[in-house]
Amino acid sequence: MTTEGLTPSELQAAEAVVAELPAEILLPIETPVLAPTPAPPMVVPNLDDSSLYIHRELSQLQFNIRVLEQALDESYPLLERLKFLLIFSSNLDEFFEIRVAGLKKQINFAREQAGADGLQPHQALARISELAHEQVERQYAILNDVLFPALAKHNVNFIRRRHWNAKLKVWVRRYFRDEIAPIITPIGLDPTHPFPLLVNKSLNFIVELEGIDAFGRDSGLAIIPAPRLLPRIIKVPEEVGGPGDNYVFLSSMIHAHADDLFQGMKVKGCYQFRLTRNADLSVDTEDVEDLARALRGELFSRRYGDAVRLEVVDTCPRPLLDYLLKQFSLGESELYRVSGPVNLTRLFSITGLASHPELQYPPFTPVIPKLLQNSDNIFSVISKQDILLLHPFESFTPVVDLLRQAAKDPHVLAIKQTLYRSGANSEIVDALVEAARNGKEVTAVIELRARFDEESNLALASRLQAAGAVVIYGVVGFKTHAKMMLILRRESGEIVRYAHLGTGNYHAGNARLYTDYSLLTADVALGEDVAKMFSQLIGMGKTLRMKKLLHAPFTLKKTLLDLIAKETAAAAEGKPAQIIAKFNSLTDPKIIRALYKASQTGVRIDLVVRGMCCLRPGIAGVSHNIQVRSIIGRFLEHTRVFYFLNGGEEKIYLSSADWMERNLDKRVETCFPVEGKKLILRVKKELEAYLTDNTQSWVLQPDGRYLRSSPTGNQNPRSAQAGLLEKLTVPLVSAR
């Protein structure tokens, strides 16, 4: 892909750079070079200028748009394209529940606060609304005009009411009578039946009625809440719908037979809608004595937070739209009229159709390193050398096996582990429960406040406590986001520490979908550092000095800034200087300013940022030595890898932390070194695979747009994920 420099007028329109700056110098998409590029002679702008920063919520929305784009990529199997569209829908739900809700809350409480980008919340909301409306309309166009017709060619059909034949109508009537009508509870609206309190993201229908009921009421309106236990799409039997996979939407069934729910009344119209509410939990950890009890109370209120978005089918008449907006105290900008089902995420149920494996990604088997394949004692292997795993290409099984062996091993004395998103019923938790029952000293630091996993983590805590494990809920005011496990084993009369450190969660399911690193080590210094981390989390005392481990909120941010400054100093002296970093999000203004300064002195900086990025690359005199790319593909990019040339003595760190204020200042995080030439070279090569990806990478432009890469000239198509799949996994032959 080639990009041309933007004109000054384009820059001004995008508010991308300072007005006096000349056109940007955009970097080519190639493997980074080590030779520093001096800054062009010019007046260096103020790095605090708001035009040098991108609003974080707008950047997050851009990531969701990149996800939606995958639904149009014909290189993906068809059901996977549908899945990307549904992931966009799910991501957008959370975006409104958390991000938009947070901005609205600032406005409502008169606490508007602009970030480094200078946008006030009300300004950001206006831009979000404009962009979100455009993309939601596009989403339904892709679904109705591209994906549904393509699926129909494979005999996967979603049959709309206008296409029901006589046989299908009879079957739908019977299904409605037997399976739907007995469960549904229509609510007539009148002075004694006010508008009901509707659950967050639930499917509902507003019904326009004509006539007088048995009690003489004629309000003319009713609400039909669709119970969550009802499937949103129903498969039609082959003898009714014919060959193939044929489905009918629940909403179509309710529309068709709403009259049956209001006997003697005439239904003039029935229109589906869905309300999105603020779902961010607000527990003041300073004022609660029992965090678990406080969270249990807040989980209920999450379902009924303040309204932030209203989705309504586009056939709904204007008077009813105005009525609904008034009920939820929403404005026109918060109304989304959609051409199809309002609850698209429920379509996930058909993305794994057993009848159509050819429309899905081919299965694969993650590999297990040869060192571990033929060993019955994982401790003996780790004691000889560090084991580095890259999931999902390499199996998560060794991590589980380590814990399983520890649970049974009579020489193991204690196990300590952090749990952020593991699920109450996982192999990891099973092993911890077994260890506790076998008399091991098991301590689990569980972060109850992992968003949308609070309920699961409460159940997990109860299960471990019932088994006899000690459960700690972390530190007040700081989420425990670190991923670490420590096993204490007596060997030859001495206690030996074995540790696992990771960039991801202890969740075997996520390990099949997310890219993450795992390090299994018996390194003495690293083991001591992990032990100190657990001591700080579980007990009380001053900050303990670490030998190798960097940890937030204490040493990680300072060390990152020092490492960036060291590269800056090297470039200023005319020496080679380079930074490569891969993570999920970059929002911390101090880190961004440090990177800008490094770029100005000639440090070559390549960032692989999956989601939010508030830094503007490619600005002459500021970030002309910085390139930012985002990789979107089959797997969710989740590794956090930090590389520094360090005067030729390369340093590579793996971390649980993104470069965000919340991670570096308000969370407990770990960052650990990759040591040994072999492992350093391996991680470098894997980083380079992402830097040379020209099929699934998107390059960030100075104005905040992302342009998709494509092979140019004689380049061969390169995909980092596809390359790692080919190199590290074993393909499975389909049964068909």
What's the CA gap between 428 and 234, in Å, rounded?
A: 35
pLDDT higher than 70, residue 567: yes
Percent of the chain with pLDDT over 70: 88
Q: Quick: pLDDT tens for 522-533.
A: 999 999 999 999
The answer on 520 and 392 residing in a single domain is yes
Contact 207, 313 (CB under 8 A): no
SS3 718: coil
Residue type, 236: V
Q: Which residue has the tokens 């800054």?
A: 39
Scan for tokens 């814990």, then name that residue. 403
Under 8 Å between Cβ of 199 and 305 = no
Establish whether 55 is a catalytic residue.
no
Assess whether 475 and 456 both reside in one domain.
Answer: yes
Does position 476 have pLDDT exceeding 90, yes or no? no
Domain, as residue range, for 680? 16-52+552-731
In total, how many domains does the chain have? 3
Q: What is the distance of C-alpha 682 from the center of its chain?
A: 26
H or E element that contains 406: helix 397-408
Same domain for 28 and 170? no
What average pLDDT is seen over the chain? Answer: 88
User: Is residue 61 a part of any domain in this protein?
Assistant: no
Q: Report the C-alpha gap between 522 and 385 in whole angstroms.
A: 8
Mean pLDDT across 499-522: 94
Judge if 531 and 392 occupy the same domain: yes
Together in a domain, 275 and 342? yes
Please list the residues that pair with 605 across neighbouring strands: 579, 626
Q: Is residue 586 part of a domain?
A: yes
Instruction: Enter the tokens of residue 515.
Output: 């890219």
Do the beta carbons of residue 67 and residue 91 sit within 8 Å? yes
Whether the per-residue pLDDT at 189 is higher than 60: the answer is yes
Taking each helix axis from N to C end, the angle separating 78-94 and 121-142, rounded to the nearest 10 degrees, works out to 160
Residue with tokens 């589906």: 272
Specify whether the CB–CB gap between 100 and 114 falls below 8 A. no
Tens of pLDDT, residues 332-381: 999 999 999 998 999 999 999 999 999 999 999 999 999 998 888 999 99
Q: Which residues are annotated as a binding site for ATP?
A: 91, 514, 610, 638
Residue numbers belonging to the annotated binding site for Mg(2+) = 421, 451
Grade residue 214 by pLDDT with cuts at 50, 70 and 90. Answer: low
pLDDT digits (tens, 9 = 90+) for 392-423: 999 999 999 999 999 999 999 999 999 987 77
Least confident range from 133-147, 270-284, 625-639: namely 270-284
- For residue 263, how many C-alpha atoms fall within 13 Å in the half-sphere facing its CB? 3
210 and 184 co-located in one domain: yes
Does 249 share its domain with 389? no
Going by pLDDT thresholds of 50, 70 and 90, the confidence category of residue 509 is confident
What confidence tens digit (pLDDT) does each residue in 29-73 have?
334 434 455 545 455 578 999 999 999 999 999 999 999 999 999
pLDDT surpassing 70 at residue 538: yes
Q: Supply angle C-alpha 701, 706, 711, rounded to 5.
A: 100
Average pLDDT over residues 202-208: 96
Cα(first)–Cα(last) distance of the chain, in Å? Answer: 38
Q: What is the DSSP letter of 46?
A: P
Please tell me the predicted confidence (pLDDT) of residue 292: 54
- What pTM does this model have? 0.89
| Opening angle at CA 414, ends 409 and 419, nearest 5 | 110
Closest by CA position to 64, among listed 449, 516, 636, 515: 636
120 and 211 in a single domain? The answer is yes
- pLDDT score recorded for residue 78: 98
The predicted pLDDT at position 14 comes to 36
| Mean pLDDT (whole number) for 257-267 | 90
Q: Pick the residue with more confidence: 544 or 693?
A: 693
pLDDT band at 193 (very low <50, low <70, confident <90, very high): confident
pLDDT cut 90: percent of the chain above it:
76
57: in domain: no
| Mean pLDDT (whole number) for 268-292 | 72
Residue 680 has pLDDT above 70, yes or no: yes
Residues belonging to the binding site are 91, 421, 451, 514, 610, 638
- Shared domain check, 315 and 289: yes
Helix (H) or strand (E) holding 230: none
Q: Kindly name the residue from 356, 481, 500, 551 that is annotated as catalytic.
A: 481
Based on the fold, state whether residues 400 and 344 are members of the same structural domain.
Answer: no
